[in-house]
């Protein structure tokens, strides 16, 4: 029986895994390419690269704003949906920033300002990398303890890894910068990703019955499970982008990418590996 037009029992394990593996390879190429080009797997936002982001609420047009701040390292000026104009500056010295502050407080009072120094940005990069590594290792340990069998555990871990890499590649393609917020979203994907994988693995390995039935049942539950989460996140994305809340918009975009990718990775990649494993009789 098919849910959402996908019959999980129709394809051989090799066919199931082909698409996710291909997508993963493309994603690795995109991420690797960005890494070589920028030194970061995803283009860094100001949290990591250092710089200043200002949102002003004004009737001034882009040209006027550019003229006002011509003495500062402007990177971009863009108009947002909800009347705010985003101005991004590259890194600047403390004195220069205080001067910028002076101009902002006289000319554009009520501006939202975020400023991160270049060295602090680098420290944040290291800290984020530490968090990502520890999260991933921690997740892997929990998965191994929970299943105590090699292949199924590795399948879950590969699928989580793939979720993160592909989500990172999507960020590059869609131009979503890596910030503290989006890093948190990637970390959260580690948790979300494992959610449906665990459902699948438990149903297949710890329940009695025909493999086909168990796969169908797991897929039904898993699909509705992930789609409810997707709908919650989509709602968050809609409201936050209308409301001009940049952090939440970015977090929801990354989670949305990740959850959609997770559907593919869980029900094609992970399910494919498990099917192969069970059919070869090792799962009994």
Partner 1 sequence: MKKANKKSERQRQTRDERTSLYKDWRVILMAFLIIFSVASIYILPPNFSSGPEGNLQLGLDLEGGSWIQLEFQSEIVGFETQKPLDTFMEDLSGEMDADIILINEDPAIAEIRKPYTRDELEQVFSSLGATITSYNKGVSPVTADDIKRILEDKVNRLGTKDAKINLLTPAGSEFPQYVRIELAGVDMDDAYDIVGKQGKFEIRIQMAGNETEHVLFGDAIKTVGMPAQNPPGSDIWGVGFTLDEQGGNSFRDAAISSGAVYSPSAHNIMMLLDDSIIYNAPLSPNLADELKSAPVRDLFASTGSGEEGQEKARNLEVHLRAGALPVEVKIAGSGSVPAELGEHFKTMSILAGLFALFTVGIVVYYRYREPNIVLPMIAVNISEIIILLGIARYIQQLDLTAIAGLIAVLGTGIDQLVVITDEVLHEGRVPSPNLYLKRLKRALSIIMVAATTMIIAMLPLALMDLSSLKGFAIITILGVLIGVLITRPAYGRIIMSILSK
- Kindly identify the residues of this chain, within the stretch 16-55, that bind partner 1 according to CB under 8 A: 55
Total chain residues near partner 1 (CB under 8 A): 78
**Cβ atoms within 10 Å of 188's Cβ, excluding its own:** 15
Q: Is residue 150 part of the contact set for partner 1 (CB under 8 A)?
A: no
Q: Which stretch binds partner 1 (CB under 8 A): 11-19, 24-32, 66-74, 232-240?
A: 232-240
Query: Which is closer to partner 1, CB of 11 or CB of 57?
Result: 57
DSSP-based helix, strand, coil % in the chain, nearest 5: 70, 10, 20
Q: Give φ, ψ of 88 to 5 degrees.
A: -115, 130
Site for partner 1 in 252-281 (CB under 8 A): 252, 255
Query: What is the secondary structure of 185-254 as a DSSP string?
Result: HHHHHHHHHHHHHHHHHHHHHHS-S-HHHHHHHHHHHHHHHHHHHHHHHHHHHHHHHHHT-HHHHHHHHH
Query: Which is closer to partner 1, CB of 167 or CB of 187?
Result: 187
Q: Which stretch binds partner 1 (CB under 8 A): 19-27, 60-68, 250-258, 270-278?
A: 250-258
Measured between alpha carbons, how far is residue 213 from residues 78, 82, 205 in Å?
A: 53, 50, 13
Q: Which two tokens stand for residue 8?
A: 């999980």
Site for partner 1 in 185-204 (CB under 8 A): 187-188, 190-192, 194-195, 198-199, 202
Quick note: the x/- pattern for partner 1 over 94-123, rule CB under 8 A, is: x--xx--xx-xx---xxxxxxxxx-xx--x
Q: How far is the CB of 29 from partner 1 (least distance, A)?
A: 26
Site for partner 1 in 119-138 (CB under 8 A): 119-120, 123-124, 126-128, 130-131, 134-136, 138
Asked if residues 218 and 207 have their Cβ atoms less than 8 Å apart, the reply is no
Query: Which is closer to partner 1, CB of 213 or CB of 279?
Result: 213
Q: How far is the CB of 179 from partner 1 (least distance, A)?
A: 10
Q: How far is the CB of 252 from partner 1 (least distance, A)?
A: 7
Q: Is residue 2 part of the contact set for partner 1 (CB under 8 A)?
A: no
Query: Which is closer to partner 1, CB of 64 or CB of 110?
Result: 110
Query: Which is closer to partner 1, CB of 30 or CB of 87?
Result: 87
Length of the chain in residues, anyone? 284
CA dist 203 and 214 (Å) reads: 6
Asked if residues 202 and 268 have their Cβ atoms less than 8 Å apart, the reply is no
Q: How far is the CB of 15 from partner 1 (least distance, A)?
A: 27
Q: Which stretch binds partner 1 (CB under 8 A): 19-27, 66-74, 176-184, 265-273?
A: 176-184
Asked if residues 165 and 27 have their Cβ atoms less than 8 Å apart, the reply is yes
**Structure letter (DSSP) for residue 280:** T
Considering only 38, 227, 260, 283, the residue that binds partner 1 (CB under 8 A) is 227
Asked if residues 82 and 24 have their Cβ atoms less than 8 Å apart, the reply is no
Q: What angle do CA 99, 103, 106 make, to 5 degrees?
A: 135
Q: Is residue 149 part of the contact set for partner 1 (CB under 8 A)?
A: no
């Amino acid at each position: 029986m098919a849910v959402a037009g996908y019959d999980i029992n129709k394809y051989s394990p090799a066919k199931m895994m082909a698409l996710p593996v291909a997508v993963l390879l493309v994603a690795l190429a995109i991420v690797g390419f960005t890494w070589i080009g920028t030194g970061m797997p995803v283009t860094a936002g100001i949290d990591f690269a250092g710089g200043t982001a200002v949102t002003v609420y004004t009737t001034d047009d882009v040209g006027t704003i550019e003229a006002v701040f011509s003495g500062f390292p402007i990177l971009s000026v863009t108009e947002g949906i909800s009347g705010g104009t985003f101005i991004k500056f590259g890194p600047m010295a403390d004195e220069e920033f205080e001067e910028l502050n002076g101009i902002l407080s006289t000319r554009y009072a009520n501006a939202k300002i975020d400023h991160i120094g270049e060295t602090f940005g680098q420290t944040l990069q290291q800290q984020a990398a530490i968090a990502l590594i520890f999260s991933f290792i921690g997740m892997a340990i929990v998965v191994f303890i929970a299943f105590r069998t090699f292949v199924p555990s590795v399948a879950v871990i590969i699928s989580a890894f793939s979720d993160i890499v592909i989500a990172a590649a999507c960020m590059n393609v869609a131009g979503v910068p890596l910030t503290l917020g989006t890093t948190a979203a990637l970390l959260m994907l580690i948790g979300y990703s494992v959610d449906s994988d665990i459902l699948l693995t438990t149903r297949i390995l710890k329940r009695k019955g025909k493999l086909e039935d168990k796969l169908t049942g797991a897929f039904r539950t898993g699909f509705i499970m992930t789609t409810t989460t997707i709908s919650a996140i989509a709602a968050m994305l809609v409201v936050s982008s209308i409301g001009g809340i940049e952090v939440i918009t970015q977090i929801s975009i990354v989670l949305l990418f990740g959850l959609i990718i997770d559907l593919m990775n869980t029900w094609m990649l992970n399910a494919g590996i498990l099917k192969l494993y069970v059919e070869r009789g090792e799962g009994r």
